[in-house]
Amino acid sequence: MSLLLALIQGMVLAAIPAVGFALVFNVPVKALKYCALLGAIGYGTKTILM
């Protein structure tokens, strides 16, 4: 259970820099939620595969 909790926490925290990079590159505001989602999914996938 702690692995799942750590994974979810890491995914939430990985969404923050993904949105930050999107803001640097002037991504439209409507697309920011997708950037956050993809950042979280990417982190989760990397963690599971490692």
User: pLDDT in tens for each of the 50 residues of the chain?
Assistant: 799 999 999 999 999 999 999 999 999 999 999 999 999 999 999 999 99
Domain of residue 34: give its range: 2-49
Handedness of CA 47, 5, 39, 42 (dihedral sign): positive
pTM, two decimals, is 0.87
Using alpha carbons, list the distances in angstroms from residue 44 to 8, 19, 26, 27: 8, 16, 25, 23
In this predicted structure, what is the pLDDT of residue 1?
A: 79
The domain total for the chain is 1
